[in-house]
C-alpha cells in the first residue's frame, strides 16, 4: 500500500490573493500564514516541516503564538517551501526570486544607480495605500478618534514638521484597529498611506524598504540608501500617513521618521509603552465601555441575546481581542453566547485553581 507523502500538498495560486492571506503577509505573521496553509491547502505540521526545513516543534510554537519569526532568512525558507509568488514575497520583505535578495540587504551604490544620481522630479505622485480597514463592527472609539484628529492639523507646508501621535494601551485593547479605523476614515486626505509592522527594528527597516521600492527605489540599494530615498519622496508629497504598529520604544522608530515631512506628513505609532513625549503626542486608550463591548460581541457573533452578550463582555474584560476570539469560537462551534459564557466561566475557574491566571489561548494578535 502506497504511503501518503505529507509534503505533497498544493498551495493554489488564488490562496495568495485571499484577504486573510494578504493580511498575514503584511503583518509578517508566520503563525497565521501556516494556519491558513493548513486550512486551505490541507498541509500538516509534518508536511510544513518537510517543505520549509523548520523543525516540527518550532512550527508548532509559531502556530501557537509562542514564537515569532523575525529573520529574513527564516522567511526565505518559508517562501521557498510554500512556493510563494513574487508579489507575496515582496509583502514580507523578500526580493523577487529573480534577484533572490532581501530588500534591506542591498550591496550599495556600486550595485545600482544610487539615490543621489536619480534625476530631479522623479517623485512618484500616484496614490499608494497599504493600510487595511478595521474589523467589521468597529465601534466605541469616537473620543480617541477625535483625539488623534486634533493632533493632525492640516499643514501649510511652512515648516515641514511631521505630526506624530502614539496610541498606547495594554495588549488586546484595540490599538491596531483604532489606527486602521482612523486611516480608513481619513483616507481621502492622503495620497500615501503605509502600514509598517514594527515589533523589531528589522521589521521597521523591512517595511520602510518595501515602501521605498514601491515608490521607485532599487532593490539593490542599501538600507541607508532606501531610507534617504524615502525621506526625499515623502518631502515632495502633498500628504502622507505612516503607521508603525506595535513599537516597543521610541528609540526603535525615531530614526525612521523624517524631520521634514513636506506639506502634510503624519505618523501614528501603536505601542504598549506609554513613554512617547519626546517623539509623539501620547494618546492612551482603555478597554471598551460595556455597551460598546456587548454590541461588538453581538455583531460579531450574530447572537441577539443582548443580556448574555453584556454579561460575557464584562467577563472578557471588555477587551476587543478577547471579544473577537469569543465570537469566532461561537461561530466555529455553532454554540450560543450563553453556552460560551458557561464554558468560559468553567475554564476560568479551572485556570485560577491551577494558579495560571486568565489566559486566552489562540488569540488573534492582529487586534493589538
- Judge if 57 and 159 occupy the same domain: no
pTM beyond 0.85: no
Angle 5-10-12 from CA coordinates, rounded to 5°: 170
Nearest alpha carbon to residue 146 among 120, 115, 185, 113: 185
Nearest alpha carbon to residue 96 among 202, 220, 225, 216: 220
Domain that holds residue 25: 13-91
pLDDT band per the 50, 70, 90 thresholds, residue 55: confident
Nine-digit cell string for 59: 512550527
**H/E stretch holding 165:** strand 163-168
- Judge if 211 and 355 occupy the same domain: no
pLDDT score of 366 more than 50: no
pLDDT band per the 50, 70, 90 thresholds, residue 102: very low
Can you tell me the distance from the alpha carbon of 74 to that of 338, in angstroms, rounded to the nearest whole number? Answer: 43
| Out of 38-52, 168-182, 312-326, least confident range | 312-326
pLDDT score of 338 more than 60: yes
What average pLDDT does the segment 176-184 reach? Answer: 92
Tell me the percentage of the chain whose pLDDT exceeds 70: 83
Residue count (the chain): 368
What is the domain count for the chain? 3
DSSP 102-161: BTT----TTTS--GGGSPTT----S-EE-PPPPPTT--S-HHHHHHHHHT-----SSS-P
- Judge if 278 and 336 occupy the same domain: no
- Judge if 256 and 132 occupy the same domain: yes
- Judge if 268 and 295 occupy the same domain: no
**Within a domain: residue 102?**
no
| Out of 93-107, 193-207, 230-244, least confident range | 93-107
pLDDT score of 208 more than 50: yes
| Out of 2-16, 104-118, 310-324, 340-354, least confident range | 104-118
In our burial notation (b when 16+ CB lie closer than 10 A, e otherwise), range 183-199 reads beebeeebbbbbbbbbb
DSSP 67: S
**H/E stretch holding 284:** strand 281-284
CA 215 to each of CA 58, 129, 209, 336, 345: distance values in angstroms, whole numbers, following the listed order: 36, 11, 10, 48, 51
- Judge if 156 and 256 occupy the same domain: yes
What average pLDDT does the segment 218-229 reach? Answer: 91
Question: In a 3-state reduction of DSSP, which class is residue 265?
Answer: strand
What average pLDDT does the segment 63-86 reach? Answer: 85
Q: Which of 244, 259, 284 is the last residue of a domain?
A: 284
- Judge if 212 and 142 occupy the same domain: yes
- Judge if 68 and 196 occupy the same domain: no
Nine-digit cell string for 208: 520602510
Average pLDDT over all residues of the chain: 80
pLDDT score of 246 more than 90: yes
CA 245 to each of CA 268, 353, 367: distance values in angstroms, whole numbers, following the listed order: 8, 36, 11
Cβ atoms of 85 and 103 closer than 8 Å: no
Q: Which of 245, 267, 284 is the last residue of a domain?
A: 284
Amino acid at each position: 500500500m502506497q504511503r501518503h507523502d505529507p509534503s505533497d500538498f498544493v498551495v493554489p495560486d488564488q490562496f495568495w490573493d485571499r484577504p486573510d492571506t494578504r493580511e498575514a503577509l503584511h503583518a509578517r505573521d508566520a503563525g497565521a500564514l501556516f494556519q491558513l496553509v493548513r486550512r486551505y491547502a490541507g498541509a500538516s505540521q509534518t508536511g510544513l516541516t518537510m517543505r520549509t526545513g523548520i523543525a516540527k516543534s518550532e512550527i508548532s510554537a509559531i502556530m501557537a503564538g509562542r514564537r515569532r519569526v523575525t529573520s529574513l532568512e527564516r522567511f526565505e525558507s518559508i517562501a521557498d517551501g510554500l512556493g510563494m509568488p513574487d508579489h507575496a514575497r515582496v509583502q514580507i520583505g523578500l526580493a523577487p526570486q529573480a534577484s533572490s535578495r532581501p530588500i534591506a540587504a542591498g550591496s550599495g551604490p556600486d550595485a545600482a544607480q544610487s539615490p543621489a544620481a536619480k534625476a530631479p522630479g522623479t517623485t512618484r505622485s500616484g496614490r499608494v495605500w497599504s493600510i487595511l480597514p478595521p474589523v467589521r463592527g468597529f465601534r466605541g472609539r469616537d473620543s480617541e478618534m477625535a483625539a488623534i484628529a486634533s493632533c493632525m492639523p492640516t499643514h501649510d507646508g511652512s515648516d515641514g514638521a511631521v505630526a506624530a501621535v502614539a496610541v498606547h494601551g495594554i495588549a488586546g485593547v484595540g490599538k491596531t484597529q483604532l489606527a486602521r479605523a482612523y486611516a480608513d476614515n481619513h483616507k481621502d486626505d492622503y495620497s500615501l498611506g503605509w502600514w509598517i509592522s514594527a515589533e523589531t527594528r528589522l521589521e521597521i527597516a523591512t517595511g520602510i524598504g518595501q515602501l521605498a521600492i514601491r515608490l521607485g527605489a532599487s532593490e539593490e540599494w542599501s538600507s541607508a540608501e532606501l531610507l534617504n530615498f524615502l525621506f526625499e519622496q515623502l518631502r515632495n508629497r502633498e500628504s502622507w500617513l505612516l503607521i508603525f504598529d506595535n513599537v516597543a520604544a521610541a528609540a526603535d522608530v525615531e530614526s525612521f521618521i523624517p524631520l521634514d515631512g513636506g506639506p502634510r506628513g503624519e505618523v501614528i505609532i501603536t505601542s504598549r509603552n506609554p513613554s512617547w513625549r519626546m517623539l509623539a503626542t501620547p494618546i492612551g486608550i482603555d478597554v471598551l465601555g460595556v455597551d460598546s463591548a456587548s454590541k461588538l460581541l453581538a455583531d460579531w457573533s450574530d447572537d441577539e441575546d443582548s443580556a448574555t452578550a453584556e454579561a460575557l463582555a464584562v467577563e472578557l474584560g471588555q477587551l476587543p481581542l478577547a471579544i473577537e476570539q469569543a465570537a469566532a469560537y461561537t461561530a466555529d462551534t455553532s454554540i450560543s453566547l450563553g453556552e460560551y459564557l458557561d464554558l468560559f466561566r468553567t475554564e476560568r475557574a479551572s485556570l485560577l485553581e491551577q494558579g495560571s491566571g486568565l489566559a486566552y489561548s489562540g488569540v488573534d494578535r492582529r487586534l493589538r
